[in-house]
C-alpha cells in the first residue's frame, strides 16, 4: 500500500510539459525575487507551482498584489575617523597604556618597595595573559580554548600501509589495501569492478509494476538511442541522441558529424570512446521528431533540425550553430563543448591518480578516496600535478612532478614531466609535517557510491563541489558560492588536507563519515531511475537520505570495528541540508556528533519546509521497497542537541563579503537601520519561514518602514544594488528561517552587521561556543511588529560596543583555511585596495587600533575550521 499522511499531498506522478515551458514558468514567475527554493529539476518547479496555491491563498494574493516600496540607495559615505568608534577605542587603549606606564614609572622610582614591584609584575603578566587570551575572545569555555592552543605537539608517525590485496584485481576501480575490497567508479560494481551498473536514460518515473533493483530504461540496449522519440514521457535524462548509460549523460547521435562514437566492438569493457561527441544534456530536447511530428516532452521552439540539420548543433563546425547545449559534466568545456578541462576531485587525487569527474582512479599501488596512501612494500613516487592544479592542492615536503602541456588541434598534449621543488605561496604557508596536534581525525574511505558517484552522476559542473575548474585554461573558481551546500565537499577536502588527519584509526579521537547526500538530493535523485534508496519514487527526498545513511552505518559496522568500539560517540556526520538532522536516523543521531546549519531544539517537531519534496513528516509505506513507515527510522529525537552537536557556518566564497572591512573594504557609514534581502515568501506556501519573512515583508511595505525608519526589507528588485555593500552599510540585519536554516546570520556577521535573530527555539551558528549576547540580539516571533521600536530604542553606545565586539569574532564565521583560499586571498585584498582608492580617494590611513580598519590579510588560523577543531578538542573526553 501507499500511505499518505493527513493534510499532505505527495504527487507521485505528474503529467509534465516540456522543460522549456517549465523553465519559462520558473523564470517569468520568480526571476523578480531572490527565490531560495532548494535546487530542483524542472519538473519539481512545475510541481511546486501547483502546490504553492494550497497554502494561505488569501495571504499569497495579498502579498503578490500589494503595493511595494521601491528605492535606490544613495552612494555610500566613508566612515569618519572622528566618530565615537575611534574615540572610544582609542580611549580604551590610552587607559591601558597609561596604567602600564604608571606601573612602570612607579616600579622604577620605588624599586625598593616589594609591593610595588609585585604590582608591576602583575600588570605585565596580565598584559601577557590578555594577548594570550585574544584568540579565545568571547568563547564561553576559555579554559578549553587555552588547552587547545597550549597542547604539546605530537610526533609524526609513519603512515600505516595496507597489505590486503584484492583477489582478481579491481579493473576500473581501486583496491582498498586496508580492507582488501574494490572501490568501483560509477557504472561498475562487483568484487572486481567488472559488472556493469547501468544508469540508462529513461522517459518517466517508476511505478508499482516495475521490479525492484532493475533500472528503468528507454534506450535500445545496443544503439543506446531512444526507443521512440514520439512516445510521451519526460524525464531529465531522456535523450534525443546517444545515451552513455553509465551516468545517464546524453550526447549527439544518429551518425551526426559530432556524434558520440563508442569504442570499437570487441574492445575491453570500459575502453574510452573513439569520439566523445557534443553534449545534448538537459534542456536540449527537440520539440519534434525527424519527420516534423510535434512531441510534448521537448522544447516546442526547437525542431529536430536545430540539432541534426546542416547548421544544427550536432553537425555545424563553426562556433555559430543554430542552437547550443550546455556541456553537462565537468570534463568538457568551450562554446562547442569540444575542449577538455579538469574536474573536481578531493585533493585532486593527491597527484597519484586521475580525476574522473569526481572519482579518483589511483595509480598502481595507491589507494584511498584521494589516492593518498601506498600499499605496503611498494615504492612511493613523488606526486605529479598539472600546473593549473597547483593553486588548489596542499603539497607535502619533497619533490613534485609538474606536467607541461601544449594545445594541438584543440587537444592538450603532454610535452614534459619535470621534477622540481615547490616555491609557491601555498608552500610558504604549509603546515609543519614534523608535528601534529589533536584532535586526530580519521576520515573514512566509504564506498564511492556514497560520495564520488554523486559527483560523477551530477551532470552539472556548478553543483555539489565547492570549487571547480573553468574554461580551457582550467582556471579555478569558487563554484560553491552558487549553491548553498558547498560545505559538504569543502569540509571533506579540508579534513583530508588537515594536520589533524590521521591514517591510523587506532589513535583517532574522531571518525568523519563523508556522505554527499545533499548532492544526491539534487541534482542526482530523479534525473534517471538510478540511484534511489529503497523507495521507488523521488519524494520525499529525506526518505532516501535516511536509508542511505543507515546503509553507510551498516557498512562501517561490517567492515571495521571503530563504530562499535564506542557506540558511535566519536563519529562525526555532516547534515547540511535545509532542516539539518531533523530526519537523521535515530540510531545514528542519538550517539554521534552532528554538524549542522539548523539548530532547532524542540523534540516534538514537524517539518517546516515550504518545499513538499523535503517534508520529512510525510508517511510512506510501500511493501517490497519500504516495508514500514520510514518515519519510524528517525522519530524520537530533536534536530539539534547542544553540547553533543554544533551549528556551523555555511560555506561562503570571499567574493560574497567583498565590501566587508574583514576583506579589506573601507568602513562606511551604517546609514541603514535594518536590512534583509532574500526570498520573502510571496511565492511560497504558508509553511515557509514559519510565515516570518512574509510578515516582515508585508509590514515593511504596508507600514512604510523604509520612509519612517530606514528599514529595507525586500527580495532584490525593490532596493537594487550590491548585496555585500548594502550589508556593510547596515547597523542591523535580519536572520530569519527559510525552509529551515538561512544564510542571513552568517551574511550579517561577516559584514559587521549586528544580526537580529527572529526564530524561536532555534540555536544559531556557534551560539553554544561564543557569547552571542555580546554581538547579536533576538526578537520573539510574537514581537515582529515591534521590531522598529526595539531597534530605535537601543542606546547608540551599546550598539557601538556590540559592533566592536562583533569585529573581534567575525573571522570565525568563514571557511578560509584551504590551499585555494591561500592562493587567491592576496588577490581579493589587492582588489579591495584598488576599489577603495578608486571610490574613496580621500580615505585616511586607518589606525591599527580601529575596530573597522580594512584588514590586509585573513586570520585563517582562527577561521571556522579552526573553531571547529578547537571545539572537537574539548570533546575528546566526552567520547571515551
Predicted confidence at residue 11, as pLDDT, reads: 29
Location of C-alpha cell 580525476:
355
For residue 27, pLDDT beyond 50: no
Distance CA 735, CA 715 (A): 14
And the C-alpha cell for 418? 619535470
More confident residue, 137 or 1: 137
Distance CA 247, CA 220 (A): 16
Location of C-alpha cell 517569468:
28
Predicted confidence at residue 695, as pLDDT, reads: 96
The tens digit of pLDDT for each residue in 651-671 reads 999 999 999 999 999 999 999
Residue 418 binned pLDDT confidence (cut-offs 50, 70, 90): low
| Residue partners of 425: CB distance under 8 A and separation at least 6 | 822, 823, 826
| Residue partners of 364: CB distance under 8 A and separation at least 6 | none
Predicted confidence at residue 54, as pLDDT, reads: 31
CATH 3.40.50 for domain 653-858, yes or no, is: yes
Predicted confidence at residue 46, as pLDDT, reads: 36
For residue 117, pLDDT beyond 80: no
Distance CA 187, CA 357 (A): 13
Residue 165 binned pLDDT confidence (cut-offs 50, 70, 90): very high
Residue 536 binned pLDDT confidence (cut-offs 50, 70, 90): low
Distance CA 460, CA 108 (A): 71
Predicted confidence at residue 434, as pLDDT, reads: 62
**Helices 84-109, 114-133: inter-axial angle, 10-degree rounding:** 150
Shortest CA distance to 345 belongs to which of 358, 332, 361?
Answer: 358
The tens digit of pLDDT for each residue in 794-814 reads 999 999 999 999 999 999 999
Percent of the chain residues past pLDDT 70, beyond the cut: 82
More confident residue, 398 or 432: 398
Indicate the burial class of 564 (C-beta count within 10 angstroms; 0-12, 13-18, 19 or more): exposed
DSSP conformation class of 659? T
Predicted confidence at residue 403, as pLDDT, reads: 58
Residue pair 146/159 in contact (Cβ under 8 Å)? The answer is no
Predicted confidence at residue 279, as pLDDT, reads: 95
And the C-alpha cell for 256? 551526426
Q: Tell me what the pLDDT averaged over the chain comes to.
A: 85
Predicted confidence at residue 433, as pLDDT, reads: 55
Distance CA 735, CA 767 (A): 14
Distance CA 572, CA 590 (A): 12
Predicted confidence at residue 330, as pLDDT, reads: 85
- Mean pLDDT, rounded, for 302-329: 92
Residue 419 binned pLDDT confidence (cut-offs 50, 70, 90): low
Predicted confidence at residue 235, as pLDDT, reads: 92
For residue 265, pLDDT beyond 50: yes
For residue 745, pLDDT beyond 80: yes
In order, the DSSP letters of 128-179 are: HHHHHHGGGTTBS-HHHHHHHHHPPPEEP-PPP------TT--TTSEEETTT
Highest mean pLDDT among 336-340, 396-400, 644-648: 644-648
First to last CA, the chain: 45
The tens digit of pLDDT for each residue in 675-733 reads 999 999 988 888 899 999 999 999 999 999 999 999 999 999 999 999 999 999 999 99
Q: Give the range among 128-137, 336-345, 388-397 with minimum mean pLDDT.
A: 128-137
For residue 774, pLDDT beyond 90: yes
- Mean pLDDT, rounded, for 98-127: 42
For residue 32, pLDDT beyond 50: no
More confident residue, 5 or 505: 505
The tens digit of pLDDT for each residue in 74-94 reads 999 999 875 445 545 445 444
Predicted confidence at residue 608, as pLDDT, reads: 94
- Mean pLDDT, rounded, for 557-577: 98
Distance CA 846, CA 852 (A): 9
Predicted confidence at residue 401, as pLDDT, reads: 66
The tens digit of pLDDT for each residue in 336-351 reads 998 899 999 999 999 9
For residue 437, pLDDT beyond 60: yes
Q: Give the range among 527-541, 596-610, 752-766 with minimum mean pLDDT.
A: 527-541
For residue 15, pLDDT beyond 90: no
Distance CA 484, CA 36 (A): 10
The 3-class SS string of 247-283 reads CCEEECCCCCCCCCECCCCCCCCCCCCCECCCECCCC
Query: Domain coordinates of the chain in residue numbers?
Result: 653-858
Highest mean pLDDT among 206-220, 261-275, 336-350: 336-350
Q: Give the range among 235-244, 423-432, 584-593, 654-663 with minimum mean pLDDT.
A: 423-432
Predicted confidence at residue 537, as pLDDT, reads: 77
For residue 482, pLDDT beyond 80: no
Residue 460, SS3 per DSSP: coil
Predicted confidence at residue 47, as pLDDT, reads: 34
The tens digit of pLDDT for each residue in 483-504 reads 789 999 999 999 999 999 999 9
Predicted confidence at residue 721, as pLDDT, reads: 97
The H-or-E segment that residue 792 falls in is helix 787-792
* Cα pseudo-dihedral 310, 312, 315, 321, rounded to 10: 110
- Mean pLDDT, rounded, for 537-545: 90
For residue 34, pLDDT beyond 90: no
Distance CA 117, CA 104 (A): 9
The H-or-E segment that residue 64 falls in is helix 57-65
For residue 247, pLDDT beyond 60: yes
Beta strands in 752-844 (DSSP E): 754-757, 762-763, 777-778
- Mean pLDDT, rounded, for 248-275: 92
Amino acid at each position: 500500500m501507499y500511505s499518505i499522511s493527513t493534510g499532505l499531498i505527495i504527487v507521485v506522478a505528474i503529467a509534465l510539459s516540456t522543460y522549456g515551458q517549465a523553465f519559462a514558468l520558473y523564470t517569468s514567475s520568480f526571476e523578480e525575487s531572490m527565490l531560495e527554493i532548494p535546487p530542483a529539476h524542472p519538473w519539481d518547479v512545475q510541481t511546486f507551482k501547483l502546490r504553492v496555491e494550497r497554502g494561505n491563498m488569501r495571504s499569497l494574493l495579498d502579498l503578490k498584489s500589494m503595493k511595494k516600496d521601491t528605492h535606490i540607495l544613495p552612494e555610500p559615505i566613508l566612515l569618519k575617523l572622528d566618530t565615537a568608534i575611534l574615540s572610544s577605542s582609542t580611549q580604551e587603549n590610552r587607559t591601558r597604556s597609561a596604567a602600564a606606564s604608571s606601573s612602570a614609572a612607579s616600579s622604577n622610582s620605588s624599586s625598593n618597595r616589594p609591593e610595588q614591584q609585585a604590582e608591576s609584575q602583575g600588570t605585565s603578566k596580565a598584559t601577557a595573559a590578555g594577548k594570550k587570551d585574544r584568540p579565545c575572545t568571547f568563547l564561553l569555555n576559555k579554559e578549553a580554548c587555552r588547552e587547545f592552543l597550549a597542547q604539546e605537539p605530537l610526533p609524526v608517525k609513519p603512515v600505516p600501509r595496507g597489505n590486503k590485496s584484492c583477489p582478481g584485481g579491481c579493473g576500473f576501480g581501486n583496491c582498498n589495501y586496508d580492507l582488501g575490497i574494490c572501490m568501483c567508479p560509477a557504472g561498475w560494481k562487483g568484487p572486481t569492478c567488472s559488472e556493469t551498473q547501468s544508469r540508462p536514460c529513461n522517459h518517466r518515473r517508476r511505478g508499482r509494476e516495475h521490479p525492484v533493483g532493475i533500472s528503468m530504461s528507454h534506450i535500445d540496449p545496443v544503439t543506446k538511442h531512444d526507443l521512440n522519440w514520439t512516445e510521451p514521457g519526460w524525464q531529465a535524462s531522456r535523450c534525443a541522441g546517444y545515451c552513455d548509460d553509465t551516468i545517464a549523460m546524453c550526447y549527439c547521435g544518429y551518425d551526426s558529424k559530432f556524434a558520440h562514437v563508442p569504442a570499437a566492438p570487441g574492445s575491453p569493457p570500459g575502453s574510452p570512446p573513439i569520439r566523445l561527441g557534443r553534449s545534448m544534456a538537459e534542456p536540449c530536447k527537440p520539440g519534434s521528431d525527424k519527420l516534423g511530428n510535434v512531441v510534448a516532452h521537448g522544447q516546442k521552439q526547437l525542431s529536430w533540425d536545430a540539432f541534426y540539420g546542416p547548421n544544427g548543433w550536432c553537425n555545424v563546425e563553426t562556433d555559430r550553430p543554430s542552437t547550443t547545449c550546455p556541456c553537462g559534466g565537468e570534463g568538457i568545456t568551450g562554446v562547442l563543448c569540444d575542449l577538455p578541462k579538469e574536474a573536481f576531485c578531493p585533493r585532486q587525487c593527491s597527484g597519484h591518480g586521475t580525476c574522473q569527474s569526481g572519482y579518483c582512479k589511483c595509480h598502481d599501488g595507491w589507494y584511498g578516496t584521494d589516492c593518498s596512501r601506498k600499499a605496503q612494500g611498494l615504492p612511493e613516487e613523488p606526486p605529479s600535478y598539472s600546473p593549473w592544479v597547483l593553486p588548489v592542492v596542499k603539497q607535502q615536503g619533497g619533490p613534485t612532478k609538474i606536467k607541461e602541456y601544449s594545445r594541438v588541434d584543440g587537444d592538450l598534449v603532454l610535452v614534459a614531466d619535470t621534477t622540481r621543488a615547490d616555491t609557491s605561496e601555498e608552500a610558504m604557508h604549509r603546515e609543519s609535517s614534523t608535528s601534529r596536534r589533536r584532535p586526530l581525525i580519521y576520515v573514512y574511505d566509504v564506498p564511492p557510491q556514497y560520495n564520488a558517484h554523486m559527483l560523477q552522476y551530477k551532470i552539472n559542473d556548478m553543483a555539489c563541489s565547492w570549487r571547480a575548474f573553468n574554461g580551457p585554461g582550467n582556471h579555478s573558481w569558487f563554484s560553491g558560492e552558487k549553491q548553498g551546500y558547498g560545505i559538504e565537499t569543502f569540509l571533506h577536502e579540508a579534513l583530508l588536507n588537515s594536520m589533524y588527519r590521521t591514517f591510523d584509526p587506532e589513535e583517532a579521537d574522531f571518525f568523519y563519515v563523508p556522505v554527499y547526500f545533499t548532492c544526491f538530493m539534487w541534482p542526482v535523485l530523479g534525473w534517471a531511475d538510478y540511484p534511489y534508496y529503497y523507495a521507488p519514487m523521488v519524494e520525499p527526498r529525506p526518505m532516501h537520505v535516511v536509508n542511505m545513511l543507515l546503509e553507510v552505518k551498516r557498512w562501517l559496522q561490517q567492515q571495521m570495528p571503530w563504530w562499535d568500539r564506542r557506540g558511535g560517540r566519536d563519529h562525526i556526520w555532516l547534515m547540511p541540508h535545509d532542516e539539518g538532522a531533523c530526519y537523521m536516523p535515530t540510531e545514528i543521531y542519538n550517539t554521534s556528533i552532528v554538524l549542522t546549519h539548523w539548530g532547532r531544539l524542540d523534540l516534538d517537531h514537524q517539518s517546516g519546509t515550504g518545499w513538499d519534496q523535503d517534508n520529512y513528516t510525510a508517511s510512506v509505506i510501500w511493501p517490497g521497497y519500504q516495508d514500514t513507515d520510514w518515519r519510524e527510522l528517525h522519530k524520537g529525537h530533536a534536530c539539534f542537541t547542544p553540547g553533543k552537536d554544533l551549528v556551523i557556518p555555511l560555506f561562503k566564497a570571499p567574493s560574497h563579503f567583498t565590501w566587508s572591512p574583514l576583506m579589506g573594504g573601507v568602513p562606511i557609514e551604517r546609514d541603514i537601520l535594518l536590512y534583509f534581502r532574500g526570498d520573502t515568501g510571496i511565492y511560497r506556501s504558508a509553511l515557509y519561514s514559519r510565515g516570518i519573512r512574509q510578515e516582515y515583508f508585508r509590514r515593511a511595505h504596508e507600514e512604510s518602514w523604509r520612509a519612517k525608519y530606514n528599514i529595507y526589507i525586500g527580495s532584490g528588485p525593490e532596493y537594487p544594488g550590491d548585496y555585500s555593500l548594502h550589508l556593510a552599510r547596515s547597523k542591523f540585519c535580519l536572520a530569519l528561517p527559510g525552509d529551515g536554516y538561512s544564510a542571513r546570520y552568517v551574511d550579517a556577521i561577516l559584514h559587521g552587521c549586528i544580526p537580529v535573530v527572529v526564530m524561536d527555539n532555534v540555536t544559531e551558528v556557534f551560539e553554544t561556543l561564543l557569547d552571542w549576547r555580546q554581538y547579536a540580539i533576538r526578537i520573539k516571533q510574537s514581537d515582529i511588529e515591534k521590531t522598529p521600536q526595539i531597534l530605535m530604542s537601543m542606546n547608540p553606545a551599546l550598539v557601538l560596543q556590540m559592533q566592536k565586539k562583533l569585529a573581534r569574532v567575525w573571522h570565525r564565521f568563514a571557511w578560509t583555511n584551504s590551499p585555494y583560499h591561500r592562493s587567491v586571498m592576496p588577490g581579493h585584498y589587492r582588489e579591495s585596495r584598488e576599489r577603495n582608492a578608486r571610490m574613496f580617494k580621500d580615505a585616511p590611513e586607518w589606525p591599527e587600533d580601529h575596530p573597522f580598519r580594512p584588514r590586509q590579510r585573513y586570520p585563517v588560523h582562527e577561521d571556522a575550521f579552526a573553531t571547529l577543531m578547537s571545539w572537537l578538542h574539548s570533546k575528546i573526553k566526552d567520547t571515551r
